Amino acid sequence: MGIQPKELSKLGYTNNIARSLAINTISKHCKHNTKEDVITTLIDLLDNPERYKGDEIWGKLAEHFSPTLTGKQFTVYNLLDTPLSYKTYGGKFIESLAKQQMELAMRLPVTVAGALMPDAHAGYGLPIGGVLAVENAVIPYAVGVDIGCRMSLTVFDAKSDYLKRYSHQIKGALKEYTHFGMDGCLGFPQEHEILDRSDFQLTPLLKMLHGKVVRQLGSSGGGNHFVEFGDIELTENNVLNLPQGNYMTLLSHSGSRGMGAAIARHYSDIAREVCKLPREAQHFAWLGLDTETGQEYWMSMNLNLAGDFAQACHERIHINLSKALGLKAIANVNNHHNFAWREEIATSRYAIVHRKGATPAGKGVAGFIPGSMATAGYLVCGKGEIDSLNSASHGAGRAMSRSKAKEQFTQSALKKLLSQQEVTLIGGSVEEMPLAYKDIDRIMQAQESLVEIHGRFMPRIVRMNKE
């Protein structure tokens, strides 16, 4: 039995938080009720919320319409003595600190399953490359700061020799139609339907962020974010359904910019106030999805805002560059990380699956796993491996920190390596030196059970932020 959001709106459930709480309650508790009975209850609850506030099933929804005025409440939680078991892929490539962080995550009382990808390295809270499934809660720092960060690959109706014949025009287009960094924008207005979404009026934070979204649409972040042209060799019977052969390709990597960072900081602070954990586990503070704040975060992250804004930025980048160069797109694939999904992790068992620097790899799901600016990246198709929670790596993963790369490499060494690999770099810095990353081919070997390779991409002209 299911009730659609439009039906809830007609009943008077006119905001996303109320609809989300209602749908969550119905799916969890009303599987054996008739639709008519549930609608009758929903109408009565809306008219008489106080009557339902003590109800085990409907209490949270009633609280939304008639909140109890109390002081700030919090709950103290203890960690499990022994971490739950989890599967590690490519363990010999993963530093011990990342493994320690994953073990800590597996001691949370809400944790039900986990996995560690071969590109994993230490992060804040959940390691980069960590996958964590929890019960009816969401952990902002297990999603990450750059909510919905993603790869987007567009294949054009041009052969790879276009890159050499029109390299000057490509460089010019990259300089004019891409922008990188924390505060900047393209300098000319961008259009996208996301700017007109009424969802931005649902919370004070989202209202405040709308101006930033307008300014930053179509731009990219700093760090390892990039926009690059290259060539891809597709295999026979590939997931894009294109003929086997070589194609010119555009690849971008970026996320939800300042919007995602602001949402992450705001709700991480709230989570730490209401979910008290031992000092070493503070970054794992969670928000229950049966709370109003949890629903606010879920809506801001998952219901077509931060994630869709990240996607909108990629769409504008690819449209702008295609038009500037007169190229026709014939296929696109994109996959995101730094996100949480409600997924079936075992037969009829659902959980909230966080992938921080890991990507969905369900059976038949297309994705792209990059290496570095001078090494191959791979178009892949997921195999749906249950032990990995239907996940794969989001890249090669760092072999050393940005600060260590800065100490160890010089700009001249970077230029020499890129010249040898026939790669042109616009912007960039030694922090993104290819030698600072793990060997992508070894990472791919470590996850052969997770994904199947359908194409090999090589970067040729790369644009990055100049740190």
Q: Is the pLDDT of residue 246 over 60?
A: yes
Q: What is the pLDDT of residue 81?
A: 94
Q: How many angstroms separate the CA atoms of 140 and 163, rounded?
A: 41
Of 42, 65, 88, which one is at a domain's C-terminal end?
A: 65
Asked if residue 400 has pLDDT above 60, the reply is yes
Domain tally, the chain:
2
Give residue 71's pLDDT band: very low, low, confident or very high (50, 70, 90): low
For residue 467, what pLDDT is reported? 63
Domain presence at residue 449: yes
Cβ(59)–Cβ(53) under 8 Å?
yes
Query: Please, which pLDDT band fits residue 36 given cuts at 50, 70 and 90?
Result: confident
pLDDT at 54: 83
Q: What's the confidence (pLDDT) of residue 419?
A: 94
| CA 187/CA 179 separation, integer angstroms | 9
Residue with tokens 């910019």: 257
Sheet holding 349-356, edge to edge: 87-88, 111-121, 128-134, 349-356, 339-346
- Residue 98 within any structural domain of the chain: no
Asked whether residue 71 is assigned to any structural domain, the reply reads no
Residue 167's domain is classified under what CATH number?
3.90.1860.10
- Amino acid letter, residue 155: V
Residues 179 and 55 in one domain: no
Closest CA to 11 of 36, 37, 46, 35: 46
What is the tens place of the pLDDT at every residue in 249-298?
999 999 998 899 999 999 999 999 999 999 999 999 999 999 999 999 99
**Mean pLDDT over each residue of the chain, to the nearest integer:** 92
User: Is 169 a domain residue?
Assistant: yes
Instruction: Say yes or no: 242 and 382 in one domain.
Output: yes
User: Do residues 207 and 58 share a domain?
Assistant: no
Are both 37 and 167 inside the same structural domain? no
Q: Report the sign of the C-alpha dihedral through residues 122, 313, 439, 87, in that order.
A: positive
Determine the pLDDT at residue 103. 97
The pLDDT assigned to 110 comes to 98
Asked whether residue 395 is assigned to any structural domain, the reply reads yes
Burial class (CB in 10 A: 0-12, 13-18, 19+), 453: middle
Residue 113 within a domain: no
Query: Taking residues 189-206, what's their average pLDDT?
Result: 87
Q: What is the pLDDT of residue 380?
A: 98
pTM: 0.84
The pairing of strands 451-464 and 377-382 is: antiparallel
Q: Which of 65, 86, 108 is the last residue of a domain?
A: 65
What local confidence, expressed as pLDDT, does residue 451 receive? Answer: 98
The set of residues, in sequence order, having a beta carbon less than 8 Å from that of 367 and lying 6+ positions away, is 151, 333, 335, 359, 360, 361, 379, 380, 381, 382, 392, 451
Q: Does position 344 have pLDDT exceeding 60, yes or no?
A: yes
Which residue reads 């992250």 in tokens? 301
Instruction: Kindly state whether residues 210 and 311 are assigned to the same domain.
Output: yes
Integer Cα distance of 32 and 23 in angstroms: 15
Give the HSE-up count for residue 384: Cα atoms under 13 Å, Cβ half-sphere. Answer: 6
- Mean pLDDT over 355-384 rounds to 97
Q: Is the pLDDT of residue 14 over 90?
A: no
Instruction: Give yes or no: residues 14 and 155 share one domain.
Output: no
Query: N- to C-terminal Cα distance for the chain?
Result: 53
Q: Are residues 446 and 313 in the same domain?
A: yes
In a domain, 273, yes or no: no
Residues 181 and 316 in one domain: yes
| Same domain, yes or no: 61 and 155 | no
Confidence of residue 183 (pLDDT cuts 50, 70, 90): low
Q: Are residues 245 and 364 in the same domain?
A: yes
What are the beta bridge partners of residue 437?
A: 398
Q: Is the pLDDT of residue 157 over 90?
A: yes
**187: confidence class by pLDDT, cuts 50, 70, 90:** confident
If asked whether residues 325 and 179 sit together in one domain, one would say: yes
In a 3-state reduction of DSSP, which class is residue 94? coil
Mean pLDDT for 52-78 is 80
Residue 69 has pLDDT above 60, yes or no: no
List pLDDT tens digits, range 95-145.
Answer: 999 999 999 999 999 999 999 999 999 988 899 999 999 999 999 999 999
SS3 330: strand
Which of 37, 65, 93 lies at the terminal end of a domain, its last residue? 65
- For residues 31 and 166, membership in a common domain is answered with no
Residue in this structure with the two tokens 């699956």, named with its chain if needed: 353
* 114 within domain boundaries: no
Find tokens 């449209």 and name the residue: 319
Domain holding 54, by residue range, is: 5-65
